[in-house]
Amino acid sequence: MPVAESEAGAGQGVVLHPADPSTLLAHGIGSQHDLPISPFYAFAGAFAALFVSFLALGLLWSSSRFRANRSGLPLPAGLQRVADAPATRTALRGLGLAAALAVLLHLLLGPDDPSRNPAPGAVYVLLWVGLVPASLLLGPVWRLLNPLRTLHRLLSRARRRPPAAGRPLPARIGLWPAAAGLFGFTWLELVSPDPASTTTLLIALTGYTALHLLLAARFGERWFTDADAFEAYSGLLARLSPLGRRDDGRLVLRNPFHGLDATPERPGLVATVCVLLGSTAYDGYSDNPAWINAVQTSPLGRTPAATLGLFASIALVATLYCVCTAATRLVSGPHPRPLTAFAHSLVPIALGYLIAHYFSLLVIEGPRTVIMALGTDNAPEPSPPLGPGGLAALQVIAVVSGHVLGVVAAHDRSVRLFPPARAVAGQLPLLALMVTYTIGGLTLLLN
C-alpha cells in the first residue's frame, strides 16, 4: 500500500519523501490523485443543474410531498422475519466483534508498516469509507455491527444488568458527542503526525473504546445511538437508503427523500453534518503543495497549523450555513428551529463529497486491504475501474447531484413550513449556499 507522494512538491520548494508525515495529510494510508475534466464544462453544468432545479421546483412544487417514516412499499413478511430474527442479529454482532479483534491482533502483532499491515486500511478505508455504500444499500448497519455495543452487552450480562439500564441522557446533549468523535477521527486521519502507525491507532482506538464503554455503563445502550461517531455517521447516510422502516416498524422500500425527511431535528445535527462537509473539504486541499509548504514552514509547527486548517474548514462550512438559514428566516418568517429545520438538506451534499473524494480510495485500497488480511500471495494489484476521465466525471456528477438533492430537500421543507408566497423567496439564501458549496467543492476537485 504505497503512500502517494505529491507530484508538485518540488515546485513549491518542498521535497516530499514516502516517510515524510506530510505525505499522510490527505488520508491515513495515502491518497488517490485523479485527473480533472474541463473546469468550464464542470462549472457550467453545475450552475445549470442548480438553477434549473430551483426554477422547476418553484413552478411545479407548491406543497410538501415527503412523508418521513409514514410511507413505503412493505417488503415480504418472511424477509422481515429473517432480518429481525435474533439469530441474524447475533451473527452480525459476532461478525463485527470478530473483525474488531482481528484488527486489534494486527495492530498488536503485525508490522508497523501500512504496506504490510491491513489494520490501517481496515480503519481508514473499510470502516470509514466502506460505511458509505453499506449504509446507502442496507440502512444503519453499524448499529448491528458495532463491536462497542456487543462489548457493552457482554459486560452488562456479566454484571446481571439490562443493557438499556442507566441514567436518562439529557436531551440537550443530542449529537454533540458524535460530532466531537467525528472531528477526532478526521483529525487522526488528516492531521496527526503518523496516522497509520500501529501505536497511534492502538492508543486512539483503546481510548475511544474505554470512554464509550464507561459512558454506556452510566447512560445505557442508548448512548451509542446518540453519541457514537460511527453510528451517527452511518445513521445519517442511511437516511438516503431505499431500505427503511415505517413508524409501525415494518421494513419497506421507500423513496430515499422520505427517509431524509425523517432526519430528527436534534442538537448537534448541524455540527455533525458540518464536520463531515468541512473535513472532506479540508481533505481536498490538504495535499495541495502550497498548503503542505505552508504547514511545514508554519511557526506554529506542522500539527498545530494543520489542526487550525481543519477547524477553519469546518467553521467556514458551518458559518455559511448559519448565515444563509438566518437570511431564510428573515425572508420567509419566524421559525422556532431555523438551524436544524434545513440541516437534513446538507446530508446529500456530504454524501456527494464523500463519493467524489473517496471512491477511488475504496475501490483500490479496499481490495488491497482484504488481500493483505487474507494473506494472499502473488495476488494481482487492484486497478481502477474507471479511467481518469471517467473518474473525474464521476466526481463532478457526485458533487453536483448532492447539491441538487439538497435543493430538493430544502424546497420541500420550505413549502411545508412557510406560506407559499414566501417559501420560494426564502429559498434564495439556501440556493446561494448551494452555489457557494458547489463552487468550493468543484474547485477542490479540479485543482
Residue type, 337: R
Beta strands in 99-193 (DSSP E): none
CA dist 157 and 335 (Å) reads: 46
- Indicate if the pLDDT at residue 30 is higher than 60: no
CB-based contacts of 72, cutoff 8 Å, min separation 6: 244, 246, 250, 252, 253, 254, 255, 258
Percentage of the chain modeled with pLDDT above 70:
89
What strand order describes the sheet that includes 73-74? 73-74, 251-253, 243-245
Taking residues 118-129, what's their average pLDDT? 94
Q: Kind and range of the H or E element at 183?
A: helix 176-190
- Cell numbers 498488536 correspond to 108
Q: Convert the pLDDT of each residue in 290-337 to its tens digit.
A: 888 998 898 998 899 999 999 999 999 999 999 998 888 888 777 667
Residue type, 355: I
pLDDT of 18 reads: 36
- Cell numbers 412523508 correspond to 67
CA dist 180 and 211 (Å) reads: 13
Q: Convert the pLDDT of each residue in 139-173 to its tens digit.
A: 999 999 999 999 999 999 998 899 988 888 888 89
Per residue in 137-151, is it b (16+ CB within 10 Å) or e — as a string?
Answer: eebbbbbbbbbbbbb
Q: Convert the pLDDT of each residue in 214-225 to its tens digit.
A: 999 999 999 998
pTM: 0.86
- Nearest Cα neighbor of 279 from 317, 305, 236, 240 is 317
Q: Convert the pLDDT of each residue in 395-435 to its tens digit.
A: 888 988 999 999 999 889 888 888 877 878 878 888 888 88
- Indicate if the pLDDT at residue 287 is higher than 90: no
CA dist 87 and 109 (Å) reads: 32
Residue 115 CB neighbours (<10 A): 16
- Indicate if the pLDDT at residue 447 is higher than 90: no
pLDDT greater at residue 68 or residue 256? 256
- Nearest Cα neighbor of 187 from 304, 272, 359, 297 is 304
pLDDT of 85 reads: 93
Q: Convert the pLDDT of each residue in 361-378 to its tens digit.
A: 898 889 889 888 887 666
- Nearest Cα neighbor of 145 from 210, 182, 95, 206 is 95
Taking residues 195-217, what's their average pLDDT? 95
Between the ranges 176-180, 326-330, 434-438, where is the mean pLDDT highest?
176-180
- Nearest Cα neighbor of 286 from 354, 190, 399, 195 is 190
Taking residues 257-285, what's their average pLDDT? 92
Set of cell numbers at residue 41 = 464544462
What phi and psi, each to the nearest 5 degrees, are found at residue 3?
-80, 130
DSSP string, 68-80: GGG--EEPPHHHH
CA dist 6 and 276 (Å) reads: 24
CB-based contacts of 265, cutoff 8 Å, min separation 6: 337, 340, 341, 343
Burial of 356 (0-12, 13-18, 19+ CB in 10 A): buried
pLDDT of 20 reads: 41
Name the H helices within 244-343.
Answer: 256-261, 269-286, 289-297, 302-332, 338-341
pLDDT of 99 reads: 95
